[in-house]
Amino acid sequence: MTHTGIEAVLSDLIFNRDITVREAADRHFTPEYRQRTNGEWADRAGFIEHITHLRTIVAGGEVQVHEELYDGSRYADRHTVDITKKDGSTVRMEVYVFADLSPAGRFSRIEETTLMLEGSDADRNIGSAR
């Protein structure tokens, strides 16, 4: 099975301006995708709204995966996201992910917890901001 991973997902969703948010979502997520970030659930439409908002404030950044595990249709990882915002400020988040993959290798569900390592108090909810 060919499957997606967080580094490819976040690179396409947030940093790759050559494709739209919807194209990136179609590439990496099932139509019934849902996500829980720090206890707050979002359906696919809410998730796309969140990523669309991020693209308006993020100038660039990178993802570093520290640990990644695939077990059949189960996925887990720990990664760090470094973001430079358009206003020049920076945010660094560590993220812990547990997820389900579809038979086609796309995410159908992600549950994640974020830990802010650097950034302002206003950026604490950047993982779910809309």
Q: What is the pLDDT of residue 113?
A: 96
* Statement: 6-123 belongs to CATH 3.10.450.50: yes
pLDDT tens column, 40-59: 999 999 999 999 999 999 99
- State the DSSP H helix or E strand holding residue 100, giving kind and residue range, or none if neither: strand 90-101
Strand order in the sheet with 40-43: 40-43, 29-37, 107-118, 90-101, 74-85, 58-71
Beta strands 29-37 and 90-101 are unpaired
pTM: 0.88
Domain boundary assignment for the chain: 6-123
Q: Kindly tell me if the per-residue pLDDT of 4 is higher than 70.
A: yes
DSSP state of 16: -
Helix/strand/coil for 119? coil
